[in-house]
Amino acid sequence: MVIPLHQPHITGKEIAYIQQAMQSSHLAGNGFFTQACQSFLEQKYGFHKCLLTSSCTDALEMAALLLNIQAGDEVIIPSFTFVSTANAFLLRGAKVVLADSQKNHPNLDANQLEQLINPRTKAIVVMHYAGVACDMTAIQAIAQKHQLYIIEDAAQAIDAYYKDKPLGSLGHLAAFSFHETKNIHAGGEGGVLVINDPQFISQAEIIWEKGTNRAAFTRGEVEKYAWQALGSSFLPSEITAATLYAQLESLSKIQAKRQILWQNYQLAFADLEQKECIQLPKIPTSAGHNAHIFYVNCPSEKVRQKLISYLKEQGIQAAFHYIPLHGSPYFQKHHAPPLALTHCEYHAQTLLRLPLFFDLSEAQQNKVLDCLYNFFRI
Ligand SMILES: *Cc1c(COP(=O)(O)O)cnc(C)c1O
């Protein structure tokens, strides 16, 4: 029996809600379940306005359109992130400027941020890795000083906090993912754009609905709807939203279990850290993380490779994260290399993710723990 890295949890209510959507005969987007999911998120987290999307990638692309990012603009993003963070802005013709990670954490290093800013810079995109908040006080102060927009790539950050504020509420815009690998999912693919700066709300609805004011028409605010701006088809179907709604209703339960599993790893590995076999994640006290990923840092890339192979032999999936954007074939083909991003490279070479999902059993987790101890022979 293989212990996977991820496994999407099914709450049991998805099918009933999908059936309800089917029976309502409203299958396209922006129906009952879409609005129910959006209201749920707005109420629970105090987000100003939410628009469901087919993916977090879509939500990031909407953000780039909303900020009117153009050729000649620069956007600062971490190199330690998923490709969607970069693609969204490159598709609009911007230049992406890659930032390094912190020494102790893969998140963007706010201390090195200001040197990347110039008059062409328009926005800073932060990515809260593993649902651990970036240093938002410092980043917000820099953004304010230089009059830059902040976008949160909060793909991994549902139900995570910075001090007492939920992640996704700290940028002008934020994007969450409900891909099957995230804490909750929308049946495979899904996302949401959060609009915290009210100036963007009406334009966001237009971009969302193929560049038309159809959302206003649906509410009876206009007699006809028409092409108003550049847009695309970003809204998901009601089937997607119905699935997500079932997951949202179980969010607290899912989160409680994930937190326990995460803590189990952290406590069980304290000994391995003391003996300098691995390093455990360093969570700043300002970050209330959401147990999205449990990772350790191995002493070297070589040890990590051996450990991945050993765990694979034992039927356990474990994985690295990420090939940094500046080391990717696409970036290297099209861009001059940035200055050395040494902290980012350290995490990319040593970080190892372990299985963490709602249905991970005690026996399965114990097997992972035993295997790590066996590998280091303690
Ligand atoms: C998962 C993820 C995405 C992409 O999310 P999709 O919903 O699959 O588009 C983007 N950024 C980060 C940091 C992610 O982890």
CA of 185 to the centre of ligand 1 (A): 12
176 Cα: distance to centroid of ligand 1 (angstroms): 8
Q: Whose CA is nearest to atom 14 of ligand 1?
A: 155
Pairing state of beta strands 121-127 and 74-78?
parallel
pLDDT digits (tens, 9 = 90+) for 229-271: 999 999 999 999 999 999 999 999 999 999 999 999 999 999 9
Confidence band of 310 (pLDDT split at 50, 70, 90): very high
**Listed residue (105, 156, 102, 100) closest to 127, CA to CA:** 156
- Which numbered atom of ligand 1 lies nearest the CA of 58? 9
Percent of the chain with pLDDT over 70: 100
> What is the Å distance from ligand 1's center to 59 Cα?
10
Return the residue whose CA atom lies nearest to atom 1 of ligand 1. 155
Asked if pLDDT for residue 51 goes beyond 90, the answer is yes
Which atom of ligand 1 has the smallest separation from the CA of 59? 9
Q: What spacing in Å lies between the alpha carbon of 274 and ligand 1's midpoint? A: 34
Ligand 1 center from residue 324 Cα (angstroms): 15
What span, in angstroms and rounded, lies between the C-alpha atoms of 212 and 170? Answer: 28
Measured from the Cα of 81, ligand 1's closest atom is 13
3-state secondary structure the chain: CCECCCCCCCCCCHHHHHHHHHHHCCCCCCCHHHHHHHHHHHHHHCCCEEEEECCHHHHHHHHHHHCCCCCCCEEEEECCCCHHHHHHHHCCCCEEEEECECCCCCCECHHHCHHHCCCCEEEEEEECHHHCCCCHHHHHHHHHHHCCEEEEECCCCCCCEECCEECCCCCCEEEEECECCCCCCCCECCEEEEECCHHHHHHHHHHHECCECHHHHHCCCCCCCCECCCCCECCCCHHHHHHHHHHHHCHHHHHHHHHHHHHHHHHHCHHHHHCCCCECCCCCCCEECCCCCEEEECCCHHHHHHHHHHHHHCCECCECCCCCHHHCHHHHHHCCCCCCCHHHHHHHHHEEEECCCCCCCHHHHHHHHHHHHHHHCC
pLDDT category at 378 given cuts 50, 70, 90 is: low
The residue to which tokens 């991003």 are assigned: 341
Residue 211 has pLDDT above 90, yes or no: yes
Average pLDDT over residues 348-375: 98
pLDDT, average across residues 358-365: 98
Distance between Cα 155 and ligand 1 center (Å)? 5
Does residue 38 register a pLDDT over 70?
yes
Q: Which atom of ligand 1 is nearest to the CA of 182?
A: 1
Residue 336: pLDDT over 90 = no
Name the pLDDT band for 337 (thresholds 50, 70, 90): confident
**Ligand 1 atom nearest 190 alpha carbon:** 7
Pocket of ligand 1 (CB under 6 A): 55-57, 81-82, 84-85, 127, 153, 155-156, 177, 179, 191
pLDDT confidence band for 150 (50 / 70 / 90): very high
Residue 84 Cα, ligand 1 centroid: separation in angstroms? Answer: 6
Does position 338 have pLDDT exceeding 90, yes or no? no
